Amino acid sequence: MADLTEFELIARAFMRPVPTGMTGGGDDCALFAVPPGMQLATSTDLLLEGRHFFSDVDAQALGHKTLAVNLSDLAAMGARPLACLLGLGLPRIDMPWVDRFAEGFYALADRHACPLVGGDTTRSLHDITLSVTVFGIVDPAKVLRRDAARAGDDIWVSGQLGAADVACRMLAGTLAMDAEVLAQTRVALERPEPRIALGLALAGLAHAAIDVSDGLLQDLGHVLKASGVGAQIDEALLPLHPALAGLSEEVVRQAALAGGDLYELCFTADPADAIAVTQAARAAGALVTRIGRIAADPGLRVFDRSGAPLRAPPVGFDHFR
């Protein structure tokens, strides 16, 4: 394989055809159209070995996750995926690894009609370095923003909380290993499913939305700050992942309220729309749970299972702490 040039590597693994009307990799830029009246939504993420994924992670799962975390940003705006770009820095060329990575990436891209239309490959000095940029389209009248929460809104979250955090901490050695719990939670860490269908179903129905990739409290805090409102969350309402049942209260609280690497949507909606929200979510294949309410007063108050306010809710994920 040492004879492969950078360009042959790209050609072999990442040059699948792109849809008619798009120009893909192989020119200086990818080209595509945006339908009239729609806005382009775009987001980029860096994923670094040893920070965002373990060095021994399965390459196929990594390919999946690399795209999934970006698609999740489109989901949080209610945008429909259009295309993506991939930047790939590798310390060496390991074609079986690249092929498996591409397999995981393309499988998710195909499922969401989000063709890979360009990118960049380079040799890295030490670590695998990934960057993905996704593009989606959204009707500006229906887009889900962070700044659209209103006092009195219900606060909802999709899916279940805590699994990815527990799996990550067990793999990192900061939480006692329990093979059975890990087996049940690892899929949430390694193969998150972006909530594209849910985001589309909520566009024009929900008010504010965000994905909780940095932890529920921290990301909800961004919504509150952007919207100029406060909120109350009830721990008793949180949809915990069932594998967390045997863990300590402190570990569960940390995982549910502050655990990052979670690609569920937290959104707000008019209480009068609660049934419409539930039905829209079900049609989109997602469970959604009401976990609290937006208040006019600033601040985020969390109440424990006894109804008492938590004095020091766990803080969310910060890459620089």
Q: Does 114 bind a copy of itself (CB under 8 A)?
A: no
The token duo for 19 is 């849809």
Helix or strand (DSSP H, E) at 77? helix 59-77
Judged by beta carbon, residue 29 or residue 113, the one nearer a copy of itself is 29
Mask for 173-212, x = binds a copy of itself (CB under 8 A) = ------------------------------------xxx-
> Please, which residues bridge with residue 292 across strands?
155, 233
Binding residue for a copy of itself, selected from 77, 202, 256, 280, defined by CB under 8 A: 77
Which one among 14, 18, 24, 30 touches a copy of itself, defined by CB under 8 A? 30
Single out the residue of 14, 66, 106, 121 in contact with a copy of itself (rule: CB under 8 A).
Answer: 121
| Side-chain-facing half-sphere of 153: CA atoms under 13 Å | 27
Token pair, residue 91, equals 């310390």
**Rule CB under 8 A: is residue 71 a binding residue for a copy of itself?**
no
Q: What is the distance of C-alpha 205 from the center of its chain?
A: 21
Please list the residues that pair with 209 across neighbouring strands. Answer: 267
> Is residue 42 close enough to count as binding a copy of itself by CB under 8 A?
yes
First to last CA, the chain: 40
List the Cα angle 99/100/106 in 5-degree steps: 85
Count the Cβ atoms, other than its own, within 10 Å of residue 256.
Answer: 27
> Does residue number 49 form part of the binding site for a copy of itself (CB under 8 A)?
yes
Cβ pair 195, 75 in contact under 8 A: yes
User: Which residues, 222 to 261, sit near a copy of itself by CB under 8 A?
Assistant: 222, 226
Q: Which is nearer to a copy of itself, 78 or 185 (CB)?
A: 78
Q: How far is the CB of 293 from a copy of itself (least distance, A)?
A: 22
- Among residues 6, 94, 110, 297, the one that binds a copy of itself under rule CB under 8 A: 6
Q: Which of 79, 114, 155, 300 binds a copy of itself (CB under 8 A)?
A: 79
Please identify which residue in 64, 101, 116, 131 interacts with a copy of itself, judged by CB under 8 A.
131
As measured in angstroms, the least distance from the Cβ of 199 to a copy of itself is 10
Among 16, 126, 282, 305, binds a copy of itself (CB under 8 A): 126
Please report how close the Cβ of residue 66 comes to a copy of itself at its closest, in angstroms: 12
Using CB under 8 A, pick the residue from 68, 74, 157, 202 that binds a copy of itself: 74
Q: Looking only at Cα atoms, what is the longest distance across the chain? A: 66
To a copy of itself, the closest distance from the beta carbon of 21 in angstroms equals 9
159 is an interface residue for a copy of itself by CB under 8 A: no
Segment contacting a copy of itself by CB under 8 A, of 45-53, 236-244, 285-293, 297-305: 45-53
Q: Compute the distance between CA of residue 163 and CA of residue 260 in angstroms, rounded to an integer.
A: 10
Q: CA angle 69-276-207, nearest 5°?
A: 55
Asked if residue 146 binds a copy of itself (CB under 8 A), the reply is yes
Bridge-based pairing state of the strands 129-138 and 80-90: antiparallel
Nearest approach, Cβ of 209 to a copy of itself (angstroms)? 8
* Distance separating alpha carbons of residues 106 and 44, to the nearest angstrom: 18
Residue keyed to tokens 């891209």: 109
Piece in contact with a copy of itself (CB under 8 A), picked from 94-102, 269-277, 301-309, 313-321: 313-321
Handedness of CA 312, 314, 317, 321 (dihedral sign): positive
- Residue 208 CA, distance from chain mean position: 16
For the CB of residue 106, give the shortest distance to a copy of itself in the complex, in Å. 18
